[in-house]
Amino acid sequence: MTSTRIQSYDEQTDVTERTDENEQAESEREEVQTCPECGGDLATHENETVCEECGLVVDEDQVDRGPEWRAFDSKEKDEKSRVGAPTTKMMHDKGLSTNIGWQNKDAYGKSLGSRQRQKMQRLRKWNERFRTRDSKERNLKQALGEIDRMASALGLPEDVRETASVIYRRALDEDLLPGRSIEGVATASLYAAARQTGTPRSIDEVANVSRIDEMEFKRTYRYIVRELSLQIQPADPEDYVARFASELGISDESERRARELLRNAKRQGLHSGKSPVGLAAAAVYAGPLLTNEKVTQAEVSEVAQVSEVTIRNRYHELLEASESGAAPA
Q: How far is the CB of 309 from DNA (least distance, A)?
A: 4
**Residue closer to DNA, measured from CB, 165 or 301:** 301
Question: Would you say 171 or 306 has its CB closer to DNA?
Answer: 306
Q: CB of residue 21 vs DNA: minimum separation in angstroms?
A: 58
- Report the residue number, 2 or 305, with the smaller CB distance to DNA: 305
| Least distance between DNA and beta carbon 278 (Å) | 4
Give the contact letters, 199-228, x = binds to DNA (CB under 7 A), - = no.
----------------x--x---x------
- Residue 296 binds to DNA (criterion: CB under 7 A): yes
CA distance 148 to 186: 10
Rounded Cα gap, residues 70 and 81, in angstroms: 10
Contact partners, residue 88, CB within 8 Å, separation at least 6:
94, 95
Binding piece for DNA, criterion CB under 7 A, among 27-35, 58-66, 233-241, 302-310: 302-310
- Return the range that interacts with DNA (CB under 7 A); candidates 76-84, 122-130, 156-164, 294-302: 294-302
DSSP label at 50? E
In terms of CB distance, is 97 or 275 closer to DNA? 275
What pairs with residue 59 in β-bridges? 49
Half-sphere exposure of 261 (CA within 13 A, CB side): 27
Closest CA to 201 of 210, 212, 190, 185: 190
Name, in order, each residue with C-beta under 8 angstroms of 115's C-beta and a sequence gap of 6 or more: none
Query: CB-wise, 209 or 289, nearer to DNA?
Result: 289
Residue 287 touching DNA (CB under 7 A): no
Among 195, 243, 259, 314, binds DNA (CB under 7 A): 314
Task: Give the binding range for DNA (CB under 7 A) out of 90-98, 117-125, 205-213, 292-300.
Answer: 292-300
Among 64, 65, 273, 327, binds DNA (CB under 7 A): 273
Whether the CA torsion 192, 195, 201, 204 is positive or negative: it is positive
DSSP code, position 266: H
Interaction between residue 309 and DNA (CB under 7 A): yes
103 binds DNA (CB under 7 A): no
Q: Is 94 a binder of DNA (CB under 7 A)?
A: no
Q: Closer to DNA at the Cβ: 10 or 308?
A: 308
CA neighbours within 13 Å on the CB side: how many for 50? 8
Helices vs strands, H then E, count in the chain: 13, 3
Considering only 116, 267, 316, 328, the residue that binds DNA (CB under 7 A) is 316
Q: Is 254 in the site for DNA (CB under 7 A)?
A: no
Quick check: 295 binds DNA (CB under 7 A)?
Answer: yes
Looking at 170, 275, 290, 325, which residue binds DNA (CB under 7 A)? 275
Burial annotation 254-275 (CB, 10 A radius, 16+ → b, else e): bbebbbbbbbbbbeeebbeebb
Binding mask 120-159 for DNA (x = CB under 7 A): ----------------------------------------
Q: Which of 172, 250, 262, 306 binds DNA (CB under 7 A)?
A: 306
CB 37 within 8 A of CB 51: yes
DSSP 231-261: --PPPPTHHHHHHHHHHHT--HHHHHHHHHH
Helix (H, G, I), strand (E, B) or coil at 86: coil
210 three-class SS: coil
Q: What are the strands, taking DSSP E only, across the chain? A: 42-45, 48-51, 57-59
Q: Is 274 in the site for DNA (CB under 7 A)?
A: yes
Residues that bind DNA (CB under 7 A): 215, 218, 222, 273-275, 278, 295-298, 306-310, 312-314, 316
